[in-house]
Copies of this chain bind each other. A is one copy, B any other.
Amino acid sequence: MKSLEKAQPVRTLAKAPLLRGLSAEALEEVAAKATEKKVRAGGTLFREGEPASALYLMLEGRVKLTQVAADGHEVILRFVGPGDAVAALALFGDAAYPVTAGAVSDSVLMAWHRDVLQELFQHHPPLAVNAMRLLSERLREVQERFRELATERVAQRIARALLRLVRQVGRRVEGGVLIDLTLSRQDLAELTGTTLYTVSRVLSEWEGQGILESGRAKVVVKRPHALVAIAEDLAPGTEGRVEGRG
């Protein structure tokens, strides 16, 4: 059924950013020390606040990293797919997971427990460097989104979120690029810090302008360039917006 969810598995471990640059033997050792973990769609890998016991590397499927506010409001920090690492902070004994990781589709992951992990990091310095690079990339991305949330309005943020998803999980289909995961209005709202109602209105308008097509938890971007224009707050190609900010 849900062919949307079929993300390509990682064929060669060596391609995962976390493991890049490791020698063949090192790769083998690292792989040997991992355990495999499977999570069904809807299941949870770990929850915010739990002690961080393992680092994961995704092989198949899709996982969503979220935080929940005291009042129940949920925020999506990131989607993670094959090749991506999750929970780099598992290295540090005292830490708790800062997010909840829930499987959006049936997922398969490699897992390294903390003790194993520390040993591996000792023996394979490139691993540490890779992990640091991943961490700093994440940091950069979150900082960027923080700035966006602080300075931009909803339509811009939604445009940016869609563009990111296109880059991350876009799949060419006739007439545009399909965002290749189940993505409800609510999901988009939680990605951009708004409500599902506002997302719905904005998408409706864009659909009217021929920028995209959207259905039940599905989005196909037909004119990415138009989204870029909106994200960058340029004069829109068609017309659409009323006026700049005074």
Chain A residues with a Cβ under 8 A of chain B: 67, 69-71, 73, 75, 77, 88-89, 91-92, 95, 98-99, 121-122, 125, 128-129, 131-133, 135-136, 138-140, 142-152, 190, 192-193, 232-233, 245
Residues of B within 8 A of A149 (CB): 146, 149-150, 193
- Of B92, B122, B150, which contacts A193 at CB under 8 A? B150
Determine if A136 and B193 form an interchain contact, defined as CB atoms under 8 angstroms apart: no
A134 to B, closest residue via Cβ: B135
Given A128-B129, A129-B91, A142-B142, also A67-B147 (CB < 8 A): yes
Which 8 pairs from chain A and chain B are nearest by CB? Answer: A150-B193, A73-B151, A89-B136, A135-B135, A69-B151, A98-B140, A67-B147, A75-B147
- Chain B nearest CB from A217 CB (Å) reads 21
**Complexed CA–CA distance, A149 and B69 (Å):** 11
Determine if B92 and A151 form an interchain contact, defined as CB atoms under 8 angstroms apart: no
A73 to B, closest residue via Cβ: B151
**Complexed CA–CA distance, A175 and B99 (Å):** 38
| Copies of this subunit | 2
Q: Is the interface of A mostly helix, strand, loop or mixed?
A: helix
Determine if B143 and A143 form an interchain contact, defined as CB atoms under 8 angstroms apart: no
**Complexed CA–CA distance, A67 and B128 (Å):** 28
- Chain B nearest CB from A100 CB (Å) reads 12
**Complexed CA–CA distance, A233 and B75 (Å):** 18
Residues of B within 8 A of A121 (CB): 129
- Chain B nearest CB from A80 CB (Å) reads 14
Residues of B within 8 A of A133 (CB): 91-92
A157 to B, closest residue via Cβ: B150
- Chain B nearest CB from A104 CB (Å) reads 19
Residues of B within 8 A of A148 (CB): 69
Given A75-B147, A136-B135, also A70-B232 (CB < 8 A): yes
Residues of B within 8 A of A122 (CB): 125
Residues of B within 8 A of A95 (CB): 136
A92 to B, closest residue via Cβ: B133
Determine if B128 and A75 form an interchain contact, defined as CB atoms under 8 angstroms apart: no
- Of B132, B138, B151, B193, which contacts A131 at CB under 8 A? B132
